[in-house]
Structure 1
Amino acid sequence: MTDQPDLPRGDTRSDRETASNVVVDFHEYRNARDPLPITFHRRELDLILRIYGRMVGDGDWRDYAIDHLKDRAVFSVFKRSGETPLYRIEKNPRLSSKQGAFSVVDVNGRILKRGHELPQVLKVFDKALKLIDT
């Protein structure tokens, strides 16, 4: 008995040693890999899901989808799952130094609000108070 792991059939110790002795340049490896997709952070997703829960409770929204793309992250909101999204909450880090990384886009592609901070952008979903005469 040895402390070495068992080898698969047909594998010899010399085959495994030569395969593990290959030196790979770390910078080449990192540049060759696919870039990681843009994602929402936990706190950002928490803010979005709070709005989503409130709107589902009001009966306005019923379904959502999250897409993590190479250049942006998108949270899409649907009235019915088979339709186009009513709203898209997008995070695009390339625009963070200019117009702001966060935006809310409606069904027609118009940007309703854009900014650097997500809580400010999500205020577009706050309902206006209505004056009721009694």
Structure 2
Amino acid sequence: MTVQGLPPFQPGAPEPERVTFDRSELGVILALYGRMVAAGEWRDYGMSFLRDVAVFSVFRRTAEHPLYRIEKRPKLRQRQGLYAVIAMDGQILKRGHDLKTVLRVLERKLIRAID
């Protein structure tokens, strides 16, 4: 039996490669997440690791669509940049090669939330 879109399981076969966030990237993302939770802006998150993209989704409530998606796309490393912050409506808020720089677009929202 095969699942549609997936090849049949073969013992000993290597698992298809997935894009993931490394420990330092997750540290930067989770530090921002913790500050936003403390400010009452965010309440939940989810992570997806696919073949071409790793996604960290941020939610105000669990049952909603994500407020923001932080994406890592290695194929865009030489072009627009490896990282992107995407709003709920699909608008790309910031894209770049440095994760901390890209996440500053969300830091500005934290400063407004506290004021």
Higher relative contact order (CA 8 A, sep 6+): 2
Give distance in 2, aligned partners of 1:36 and 1:97.
Answer: 20
Query: What residue number does 2:10 align with?
Result: none
Structure 1: gaps (5+ residues): 1-31
2:70 corresponding residue in structure 1:
89
| CA distance in 1: counterparts of 2:106 and 2:88, whole angstroms | 14
Query: CA deviation digits over 1:22-76, x for unaligned, max 9?
Result: xxxxxxxxxx634221000000000000000000000000000010001110000
Displacement after TM superposition at 1:89 (Å) = 0.1
- What corresponds to 1:54 in structure 2? 35
Structure 2 matches for 1:1-134, cutoff 5 A? 33-127=14-108
Q: Tell me, in whole angstroms, the C-alpha distance in 1 between the residues paired with 2:17 and 2:92.
A: 26
- Where in structure 2 are there 5+ consecutive unaligned residues? 1-12
Partner Cα separation in structure 1 for residue 15 and residue 75 of structure 2: 18
**1:81-121 Cα deviation digits (max 9, x unpaired):** 00000000000000000000100000000000000010100
State, as a whole percentage, how many aligned pairs show the same letter: 53
Distance 1:33 1:50 in 2: 33
Q: Return structure 1 stretches of 4+ with deviation > 4 angstroms.
A: none
- For normalisation by structure 1, the TM-score amounts to 0.70
Q: CA RMSD in A?
A: 1.5
**For residues 116 and 64 of structure 1, what CA distance do their matches in structure 2 show?**
23
